[in-house]
Amino acid sequence: MSTYLGAPRTRSAELGRSAAGLARRLDWTLVGSVAVLCAVGSLLVWSATLPGDGGHPLDSTGHLRRHLLHLAVAWVLCLLVASVDHRTIRAYAPVAYLVTIIGLVLVLTPLGAVINGSRGWIVVGGFQFQPSELAKVGLVLILATLLGEPRDGEARPMTRDVLFCLVVLTAPLALVMAQPDLGTTLVLGAIFLGTLTLSGAPIVWVAGMLACGAFGAFCVWWFDMLEPYQLDRIATLMDPAADPMGAGYNSNQALIAVGSGGFNGTGLFQGEQTHGRFVPEQHTDFIFTVAGEELGFTGAVLVIGLFALILWRILRIAQGCEQPYPRLLCVGVAAWFGFQAFINIGMGLGIMPVTGLPLPFVSYGGTAIMANMIALGLVLGVHSRDRGFA
C-alpha cells in the first residue's frame, strides 16, 4: 500500500525535478526578450482593436483576450518542445514535414477558405488554421536534418544533398504559391538560402541559388505571372504617390502613421491614425505602424532592438553547437525570424512591398504565434543540451 501511495509522489517529484532542470538550462536572455516583445505586441494589438471614432466593429477587449489566449497556449507549446531532446525531434522531422504538406494540400480543397485574397486558411466550425505558418517549421526541421547529417567520410553537404533539399523545398513552395501567398513564399526561400549558406555546402550552389532566384523573379515579372494586386503593390513601392487612394493607400497611410509619432509618440491608445482606422489590417500586417505612431521613434527602436537581441542570441547558440544538425536548426529559425521581421517593418516604413506577413511575436494571429513559439522551443531545446557556448 505504501508503494502505491508513494508512486504518485515519486512521479510528481520527477516531473518537478525535470521542470526545474529545464528552467536552469533555458537561455533567459532569449526568453526574456521574446516575453517583452510579446507584452509590447499585446498592448499594440489592444490599441489597434479599440473602437474607433467611426464606429469600427472591433470591440475593445475581444481581440486582446483571444490574443492572450493564443500566447498562453503558444508558450506552453514552446516549453513542451524545449523539453524534448532535439535528437528525438530530428527522428520525427520527415513526419512533421509530411503533415505540413498535407495541410497545404487541404487548403486547396473545399476545406480551404479565401481570406484577404489568399486561399491559405482551413476553416472548420468557426476554427481557423493557416497551414503555411507551420510549413515554415516543417521546412526548418527537414532542411536541418538533410544538410546536418553528412554521409560517412564527408565533412559537409555535397551536391546530391543540395539537390535533395531542392526537391524537398519545391513541394511547399509550389503549394504556397498556388494560394497565392507571395510573402510566405519569400520566407520559405529565405529559410532555404540561410540554411544552405551556413551548412558548408559548396559555394557554387549558394551563388547558383541567388542567381536562380534573381532569374526567377525576372521571369515572373516578364511573363506577367503575378496577380494584378501584387503588380500594383510593387508599382506603388516604386512610386507611392502614383495611386494614393488605390493600390498605394496602405503604404501611404502607414507612412503617415509612423511619421506622425515623432520621437516620443502620441502616447499609447492615443494615436489618431490608429483609432481613425486609416491603416488597414493594423493589428496584423501593419502592427509596426501602431508602435511608430503611439510609441514614436523610441518605441520603434525598442521593437527593432528586441528583434536584434533575439537574432543575436539564436545565432550565438548556433555558433556554440558542436554538431551540424542543431546548428542548422538555429540558423533556419534565425533566417525565418530575421527575414520576416525585416519585410514586415519595411512594409510599415515604405521600403518593402505589401506582402501580408505578420510581425513575429507581435502581430495578432493564432497559427502564426504558435508556429513562432514552436520554433523558439526548438532553439531553447538546443541551448538546454548543447553547452558549448556562453
pLDDT tens sequence across 29-79: 999 999 999 999 999 999 988 875 443 444 567 889 999 999 999 999 999
Q: What is the pLDDT of residue 143?
A: 94
Domain extent at residue 273 = 28-385
DSSP code for 242: S
Query: Is 18 domain-assigned?
Result: no
Tell me, rounded to whole angstroms, the distance of Cα 117 from its chain centroid: 20
Residue 312, domain member (yes or no) = yes
Q: Enter the C-alpha cell of residue 222.
A: 516578364
Compare 386 and 107 and report the one with higher pLDDT. 107
Residue among 263, 269, 272 at smallest CA distance from 299: 263
pLDDT at 306 over 50: yes
Contact present, 103 and 137 (Cβ < 8 Å): no
Answer yes or no: are the C-beta atoms of 49 and 63 closer than 8 Å.
Answer: yes
C-alpha cell at 31: 526568453
Location of C-alpha cell 531542392: 166
Which of 50, 37, 126, 36 has its CA nearest to residue 283? 50
Assigned domain for 345 exists:
yes
DSSP assignment of 112-177, as one string? EEEETTEEEEEEETTEEE-HHHHHHHHHHHHHHHHHSSPPTT-SS--HHHHHHHHHHHHHHHHHHH
Q: What is the pLDDT of residue 133?
A: 94
Q: Is residue 6 part of a domain?
A: no
pLDDT of 141-180, one tens digit each? 999 999 887 665 566 777 788 888 889 999 999 999 888 8
Domain count, the chain: 1
* Phi/psi at 112 (5° precision): -75, 150
CB count within 10 Å of CB 49 equals 22
Give the pLDDT band (50/70/90) at residue 4: very low
- pLDDT tens for each residue of 214-242: 766 666 666 555 556 555 566 565 556 65
* Whether the Cβ atoms of residue 360 and residue 68 lie closer than 8 Å to each other: no
Q: pLDDT digits over 311-366, tens only?
A: 999 999 999 888 899 999 999 999 999 999 999 999 888 888 878 899 999 999 88
At how many degrees (to 10) do helices 2-25 and 366-385 cross? 90
Query: What is the reported pLDDT for 79?
Result: 94
The residues near 187 (Cβ < 8 Å, ≥ 6 apart) are 136, 336, 339, 340, 343, 357
Contact between 284 and 67 under an 8 Å Cβ cutoff? The reply is no
Distance CA 227, CA 237 (A): 16
In 3-state terms, what secondary structure has residue 372?
A: helix
Residue 2 lies in a domain: no
Predicted confidence (pLDDT) at residue 105 exceeds the cutoff of 90:
yes
pLDDT over 70 at 1, yes or no: no
The verdict on residue 79 lying in a domain is: yes
| pLDDT score at 53 | 47
In the numeric block, the cell 541559388 is attached to 209
* Integer CA distances (angstroms), 288 to 44, 179, 300, 350, 384, in order: 8, 25, 7, 12, 32
Does residue 212 fall inside a structural domain?
A: yes
pLDDT (tens digit per residue) in 251-286: 778 888 888 888 888 988 888 888 777 888 888 889
Instruction: Tell whether the model's pLDDT for residue 304 goes beyond 90.
Output: yes
Residue 147 lies in a domain: yes
Which tens digits make up the pLDDT trace of 74-94?
A: 999 999 999 998 889 999 999
